[in-house]
Amino acid sequence: MIRIIIVDDHAMVRSGMRMLLEGKDDIEVVGEASEGDEGIRAAESLRPDVVLMDLSMPHGKDGLTAAAELKVRMPEIAVLILTMHDDDEYLFRAIHNGAAGYVLKSAPHEELLTAIRSVAKGDAYLTPSATKRLMNEYMERMKRGESTDVFDTLSEREKEVLALAAQGYANKEIAEQLIISVKTVETHKSNVMDKLGLKTRPELIKYAIKKGLLQFE
Q: What is the pLDDT of residue 62?
A: 87
Last-in-domain residue among 135, 164, 197: 135
Rounded mean pLDDT, 174-189 = 91
217 part of a folded domain: no
What angle, rounded to 10 degrees, do the helices at 63-73 and 36-46 form? 30
Q: Say which CATH number the domain at 127 has.
A: 3.40.50.2300
95 part of a folded domain: yes
Number of domains forming the structure of the chain: 2
What angle, rounded to 10 degrees, do the helices at 182-196 and 201-210 form? 70
DSSP-assigned states of every residue in 99-163: -SEEEETTS-HHHHHHHHHHHHTT--EE-HHHHHHHHHHHHHHHHTT----GGGGS-HHHHHHHH
Q: What is the pLDDT of residue 135?
A: 59
Same-domain status, 55 and 85: yes
- Rounded to two decimals, the pTM is 0.63
Q: What is the pLDDT of residue 48?
A: 97
Same-domain status, 8 and 114: yes
pLDDT per residue over 27-44, tens digit each? 999 999 999 999 999 999
Which range marks the domain in which residue 185 is found? 150-207
pLDDT per residue over 87-108, tens digit each? 777 887 788 788 999 999 988 9
